[in-house]
Chains A and B, each alone.
Chain A
Amino acid sequence: MRIGVCIKQVPDTDSHLRIADSGREIDDSDLNWVISSCDLCALEEGLLLAEAQVSRGEERPELVVFSLGPPRVEEALRKALALGADRAVHLAGEALQGGDALADGCALAAALAKVHCDLVLTGAQSDDLGQAATPAVIAEILGVPYAWLVMAVELDSRKQSVRVVRELEGGMNEVLRLDLPAVLAIQAGINKPRFASLRGTLQSRRKPLHREDCSGVDAGLVGAAGAGTETESVSLPPAGAGGVVIEGVSAEAAAEELLAHLEREAAL
């Protein structure tokens, strides 16, 4: 059995964000890059599934990690190898850059299909663009079932299907059975991602990391050419509701003032 995990490298959310001079993207000259938080949970879930198979006396599934992006994403792939993935595929090359979720999902689907994964895990949504679209696009292109916001995963003993629990709104969960192969987008909170050990880091240097340029895919479907959207501009959010601020007075005075406002607003 083989499990594919797709990870995205994103700016650390604590990074200082500056808008580039072009006004169309963030200035990436001085950013700290990390693996998107839900993607780390997806990798952890893959590792836990592999370990569960081993403890049942089964063969350990192979864990292959995929990432698309410029050369810096090799650092994210090395980290995934240090955490326990067996090998890594870097979707690299000029033709793959500048895509959106449709284009990147298409490239990832092609790379995943080449490797024949029984189960594909991704994060529920990236910490940067947060569209939650790439895993669904992969599933659609591969023509396999998909579940989003997955909070529990259990392989059936014959490894032909998977039982998942997914979050719904309002504190409801849905229990699903999906035939394999399938794509699951993992929600934060499902597990607590481990830290890399020194031994893992040392071993990761010897693990295979190879480049994939997706040259077999129609160039019009990937990268900037395959994108369905383009970002026109990036800006700071609007300053806010321009609300009334009550500050520096006693709690009683603040409470009186607020209630007077709320009465005028007919909010009481």
Chain B
Amino acid sequence: MVLLPHTYQSAEYAPRLAVRLGAAYVASVSSATLDAGGVLSFSRAILQARLRAEVRPKRRLVVATVQIGAFGGHDPVELPERVFEVGRPADVERHREREILGREAAGAGGVDLPGAERIVTAGRGVGGPDEVSVAADLASALDAELGASRPVVDNGWLPREHQVGSSGHIVAPNLYVALGVSGSIQHLMGMSGSRVIVAVNRDPEAPIFSVAHYGIVADLHDVAPALTRLLLARRPG
């Protein structure tokens, strides 16, 4: 079995690798089970996370990509170091049919979402560009970085580098607070590995509550300022 993370880099070539190896291919798995008879199966979300499928490879060799955040971090395991010398494929030198011309940031830097201990995210539910401050104020009271869902970025309320989700940052902080985020699969893919997830949403059916450890069903414009006030009042000095 060949396991790769389901990143935008590896998920691009992983199916090609499966074809070349004559292997089965399963993308973006969230768990794997080996039953008593030694039969392997993978669980993965289908139909935009509305259902799950158990998928069984029919070939001896499997290439699978693993959904980011599906497995919590473990303490590093000490393994004996083994170095494999891999020869350089002969055809690397030939004319490049696919050439990287460069990389460009879609926005300016200055936000360290993946490294953040705590993140407060503004969803479309904050309401508009002037209301993003309710999330920003709570973020600063929590010493947190400020995140955003894709529509908040697409609408220009916050720059692209704040975006959390499959096409933004993949994060797994200690604390993730989602304000007015519905919980689409693309958003969940970016943050469901967080240790403690808090959601504030006025819709009790919002899918974000299915991953939240603490859910507040209320208007975020009432709850977020109340949280900010309490946190600031507790600060020493």
Q: Which A positions have Cβ atoms within 8 angstroms of B?
A: 11, 13, 17, 19, 26, 100-102, 105, 127-134, 136-137, 139-141, 144-149, 163, 165-179, 182, 187, 189, 227-241, 243-248, 251-252, 254-256, 258-259, 261-262, 265, 267-268
Pair B107/A171 contact, Cβ less than 8 Å: yes
The answer on a CB contact under 8 Å between B104 and A247 is no
Complex Cα distance, B154 from A265, in Å, reads 34
On whether the beta carbons of A262 and B167 are closer than 8 Å, the reply is no
Assess A136 versus B15: contact at CB under 8 Å? Given A171-B105, A173-B103. yes
What residues on A are CB-neighbors of B113 within 8 Å? 170
Q: Say whether A231 contacts B54, CB under 8 Å.
A: yes
Q: Quick one: closest B residue to A10, CB to CB?
A: B47
Q: Which of B19, B209, B225 has the most CB of A within 10 A?
A: B19
Query: Can you name 21 A-B residue pairings with CB atoms under 8 Å?
Result: A130-B46, A136-B12, A137-B15, A163-B101, A171-B169, A177-B101, A227-B58, A228-B62, A229-B24, A230-B58, A232-B53, A237-B49, A244-B215, A247-B218, A261-B214, A262-B175, A262-B198, A262-B214, A265-B196, A267-B118, A267-B196
Residues of A within 8 A of B97 (CB): 144-145, 178-179, 182
A169 close to B51 (CB less than 8 A): no
Selecting from B69-77, B81-89, B123-131, B226-234, the interface stretch reads B226-234
Q: Known: A133-B25, A171-B168, A258-B216. Is A234-B51 also a contact (CB below 8 A)? A: yes
Most chain-B Cβ atoms within 10 A of its Cβ — which of A128, A146, A189, A251?
A: A251
Q: In angstroms, how far is the closest chain A Cβ from the Cβ of B234?
A: 8
Complex formed: what's the CA distance from A235 to B47 in Å? 11
State in angstroms the CA–CA spacing of A49 and B192 once bound together: 38
- Give chain A residues whose Cβ lies under 8 Å from the Cβ of B50: 13, 17, 237
Quick one: which of A19, A167, A233, A245 contacts B167, CB cutoff 8 A? A167
Contact A259 B47 (CB under 8 A): no
Contacts of A252 in B (CB 8 A): 226, 230
A245 and B215 contact, Cβ closer than 8 Å, known pairs A170-B114, A258-B227 = yes
- Asked if B236 lies at the interface with its beta carbon under 8 angstroms from chain A, I say no
Measured CA separation A130–B186 after assembly (Å): 11
Q: B156 within 8 Å of A by Cβ?
A: no
Considering the complex of A and B, which 9 residue pairs feature the smallest CB-CB distances, nearest first?
Answer: A228-B24, A240-B210, A136-B15, A251-B222, A145-B98, A255-B226, A131-B27, A133-B15, A140-B16
Q: 1/0 per position for B156-187, CB-CB distance to A under 8 A? A: 00001101000111100011000000000000
* Interface presence of B122 (CB below 8 A): no
A170 touches B16 (CB 8 A): no
Contact between B55 and A231 (Cβ–Cβ < 8 Å)?
yes
Q: Is the CB of B226 within 8 A of A243?
A: no
Q: Is B103 a contact partner of A172 (Cβ separation < 8 A)? A: yes
Question: Which single member of B8, B99, B219, B227 contacts A169 (CB below 8 Å)?
Answer: B8
Interface residues of B in 114-138 (CB under 8 A from A): 114, 118
Task: Kindly provide the distance from the CB of A163 to the nearest chain B CB, expressed in whole angstroms.
Answer: 7
Cα(A181)–Cα(B86), bound, Å: 30
Nearest residue (CB) in B for A177 is B99
Q: B36 at interface (Cβ–Cβ under 8 A)?
A: no
Give chain A nearest CB distance to B94 CB in angstroms.
12
A241-B210 contact, Cβ under 8 Å, with A131-B28, A137-B15: yes
Partner of A241, one of B100, B213, B225, B229: B213
Tell me whether B16 and A237 are in contact (CB under 8 A). no
4 more contacts with CB within 8 A, not counting A137-B19, A258-B198, are A137-B15, A137-B18, A258-B227, A267-B195
Tell whether A102 pairs with B211 under 8 Å between CB atoms, given A13-B47, A167-B8, A256-B230.
Answer: no
| Cα A136 to Cα B20 with chains together (Å) | 11
B182 vs chain A, min Cβ distance (A): 13
Shortest CB-to-CB span from B102 to chain A, Å, is 5
The residue on B at minimum CB distance from A255 is: B226
B51 touches A175 (CB 8 A): no
Q: For A248, what are the chain B residues with a Cβ–Cβ distance below 8 Å?
A: 217
The CA-CA distance from A265 to B53 in the complex, in Å, is: 32
Contact partner of A228 (CB less than 8 A), chosen from B46, B57, B204, is B57
| Distance of A157 Cα from B163 Cα, bound (Å) | 36
A258 to B199, CA, bound (A): 11
Partner of A173, one of B104, B198, B216: B104
Q: Please give, as numbers and ranges, the residues of chain B lying within 8 Å of A144 by CB-CB distance.
A: 97
Decide: A234 near B167, CB < 8 A? Known: A101-B25, A102-B24, A268-B142. no
B96 to chain A, nearest CB (A): 8
8 Å CB contact of B197 from A127, A167, A241, A255: A241
Cβ B99 vs Cβ A146 within 8 A: no
